Chain A
Amino acid sequence: MYILGLSCFYHDAAACLIKNNKIIAAAEEERFTRKKHDTSFPINAIEYCLKEANITSKELNYIAFYEKPLLKLERLMSQHSEMFPKSYWSFYKAIPSWLTEKLRIQYLIRRKLKYKSEIFFIDHHKSHAASSYLVSPFKQAAIFTCDGVGEWNTTTLGYGKNNKIKIKKELHFPHSIGLLYSTVTTFLGFRANGGEGKVMGLAAYGNSNKYYKKFRKIIDIKEDGSYFLDMAYFVYHYKLKMFGDKFVQLFGQPRKHDEKLTKKHQDIAAALQKITEEVILKSLNYLYSITKSKNLCYAGGVALNSVINGKILQDTPFKRIFIQPAASDAGSAMGAALYAYNSILKNKKRFLLKNAYLGPSFSKKEIKTFLNKKNVNYTEFEDDKELLKKTAQLINKNKIIAWFQGRMEFGPRALGNRSILANPCNQKMKDILNLKVKHREPFRPFAPVITYENMKEYFEGNYEVPYMLHVFKIKRDKIKKIPAAAHVDGSGRLQTIKKHQNKRYYDLIKEFQKLSGVPILLNTSFNVRGEPIVCNPEDALNCMINTGIDYLVFENILVEKNKNLHLISK
Chain B
Amino acid sequence: MQNVISIFKKLFFFPHQLIKQFGFFMQSVVNFIILIPVYFIGIGIMSLVSKIMKKSYLNLSKKKKKSYWLKRDKRLDAKGTEYRMF
Contact = CB atoms under 8 A, between A and B. Distances in A.
Interface of A: 68-71, 74, 77-82, 84-85, 88, 91-92, 95-96, 105-106, 118, 120-123, 126, 152, 157, 166-175, 220, 222, 224, 226-228, 230-231, 237, 286, 340, 344
Contacts of A157: 69
Contacts of B59: 172, 175
B68 A77 contact: no
Contact of B39 (A91, A226, A344): A91
B70 to A, nearest CB: 5
B25 interface: no
B54 interface: no
The 3 closest A-B pairs by CB, nearest first: A78-B57, A226-B68, A84-B47
Nearest to A121: B85
B83 interface: yes
B23 interface: no
Contact of A88 (B39, B65, B70): B39
B39 A81 contact: no
Contacts of A70: 84-86
Interface string B38-73: 111001101100100000111110100111111111
Contacts of A88: 39-40
Given A95-B35, A175-B68, 15 more contacts: A70-B86, A71-B86, A80-B43, A82-B47, A82-B50, A84-B43, A85-B39, A105-B85, A157-B69, A166-B72, A169-B69, A169-B72, A174-B60, A222-B68, A228-B68
B40 A85 contact: yes
Contact of B35 (A92, A226, A237): A92
A171 B70 CA distance: 6
Contacts of A227: 68
Contacts of A286: 69
Nearest to A96: B31
Contacts of B65: 222
A51 B70 CA distance: 44
A172 B39 contact: no
Contacts of A82: 47, 50, 56-58, 60
Contact of B57 (A81, A168, A169): A81
Given A95-B35, A226-B69, A121 B47 contact: no
21 contacts: A68-B85, A69-B85, A80-B47, A82-B56, A84-B43, A85-B39, A88-B39, A96-B27, A118-B83, A120-B82, A122-B82, A166-B72, A170-B69, A170-B72, A171-B69, A171-B70, A175-B59, A220-B68, A222-B65, A224-B67, A226-B69
Contacts of B62: 220, 228, 230
A70 B69 CA distance: 24
Given A81-B50, A173-B58, A152 B85 contact: no
Nearest to B86: A70
A105 B86 CA distance: 13
Contacts of B50: 81-82
